[in-house]
Structure 1
Amino acid sequence: MPRVYYYAGRFDDAIEQCHKILEFELDFSVAHWNLGQSLREKGMFDEAIGALKQAMNCPGNEVFRATLAHALGGAGRRAEAGNPR
């Protein structure tokens, strides 16, 4: 459901849904990724970076490396964006 809210531009709703999901499954990388995407869209780059780093610490994380690099770039942290971890 968070992704539906994301595509509808309802970022606050997406963020709320991600938090609810993560209460039950902390290692759900897609929820962290959706949270990071939604936070980034709101210009909350530091929070987005934290969520995206969490996604990368979960199993199956390689898909999210580009998203993290984009958020780091948006936050003006271009040096880190070249090698996001």
Structure 2
Amino acid sequence: MLSLLLSGCALRGAPSYEIFGAYFPLWLMSALIGFVGALIAHRIFVSTGFAQIVPFQLFVCMAIGVMIAVLFWLSGTGHLP
């Protein structure tokens, strides 16, 4: 029974990227890229005047950032072709 519960555990470690000699986990890189994506989306909304039309800008920009982070995560783990 215990081997069935532990079958999902692997010894290969978490996916990570080497940047300037240090290893950063993929989830941290995904969060940073998602945050930057949300900031860029907000800047685009403000510069085009779309920010005056869109209600709940915080939630819209957060959703865009989450989508970018999830897409980066999926591409980094190999689940996105």
Greater helix content: 1
Q: Which structure has more RCO (C-alpha within 8 Å, separation ≥ 6)?
A: 2
> So what's the TM-score if we normalise by structure 2?
0.31
> So what's the TM-score if we normalise by structure 1?
0.30
Larger radius of gyration: 2
